[in-house]
Amino acid sequence: MSAPAEMESLARDTGGRRPSGDRPARMGVLRRLYQWVISWAETPYGTPALAVISFAESSFFPIPPDVLQIALSFSKPRRSFYYAAVSAVASVLGAILGFYIGYAFWAMVEPYFLTYVPGFTRENFHYVGRLYQQNAYLAIFGAAFTPIPFKVFTVSAGVFHEFISLPVLIVGSACGRSARFFLVAAVTYWFGPQARTLLERHFEWATIVLFAALVFGFVAIKWLI
């Protein structure tokens, strides 16, 4: 299976393979967390909350920071790119934390992550390990840019540190996360309120398609050269 195909498979399998009876309760918790994240946009602490959530989402928090970034950007469109910068910087710092969780503490925290954190399954870890052996930078960039659970990649980078170094993780995360968050900022800034439907309904698939096109471009250039 190709890297883009494996990463799309991982994007579809964000909830793990737990008993179906747990799913309604888990979805209820996620829905409450989602509303809690959005609520920060109505407070004076929206920007610090965005930084904290972006940092935490890179290693364990289940709600992506995009939802708060979008809400803040709609309330203050002129600050859209500032919010994107906050999201990107905090997310890369969180990726470093994720790396060290996998590198130094995985044996201790593995049961918790596999049980409670969406996206963490042994099957997904095998996927990521194979992707790192194929092209570590592309794997990190793709996870950072697309809706694939980024935390799985940052933590597994520490676990599979023989295939991916911390500098590669940082550069790939910085490029992918910046591209993602500034794309959100551009859409909200240029298209305004009518962009809400586009972002909420189609952003995930759009990033996957863009990433697949990017991979195809790299392959085409390599073949032509």
- Of 51 and 211, the structure prediction assigns the larger pLDDT to 51
Domain boundaries, given as residue ranges, for the chain: 3-224
What integer pLDDT is reported at residue 33 of this predicted model? 82
Higher-confidence residue: 115 or 14?
Answer: 115
Higher-confidence residue of 40 and 194: namely 40
Q: So what's the pLDDT on residue 24?
A: 60
225 or 198: whose pLDDT is higher?
198
Q: Are 77 and 47 in contact (CB under 8 A)?
A: no
Which pLDDT band, with edges at 50, 70 and 90, does 98 fall under? Answer: very high
What single string gives the DSSP state of each residue in 134-176? HHHHHHHHHHHHSSS-HHHHHHHHHHTTTT--HHHHHHHHHHH
Mean pLDDT of the chain: 80
pLDDT of residue 206: 55
pLDDT of residue 121: 86
Token pair 């991979």 in the structure block, residue: 215
Q: Check residues 99 and 76 and name the one with the higher pLDDT.
A: 99
The pTM (predicted TM-score) of the whole model is 0.79
What percent of the chain clears pLDDT 70, i.e. is strictly above it?
72
Phi and psi (nearest 5°) for 44? -70, -5
Cα 104 from Cα 98, distance rounded (Å) = 10
In this predicted model, what pLDDT tens digit does every residue of 181-198 receive, in sequence order?
A: 998 898 888 876 666 666
How do residues 145-193 score in pLDDT, each as one tens digit?
887 889 999 999 999 999 999 999 999 999 999 999 998 898 888 876 6
Going by C-alpha positions, the residue among 118, 207, 103 that lies closest to residue 155 is 103
**What pLDDT, on a 0 to 100 scale, did the predictor assign at position 225?**
32
Q: Taking every pair of C-alpha atoms in the chain, what is the biggest distance, in angstroms?
A: 53
Average pLDDT over residues 69-75: 87
**pLDDT at residue 100 above 70?**
yes
The H helix count followed by the E strand count for the chain is: 10, 0
pLDDT recorded at residue 116: 86
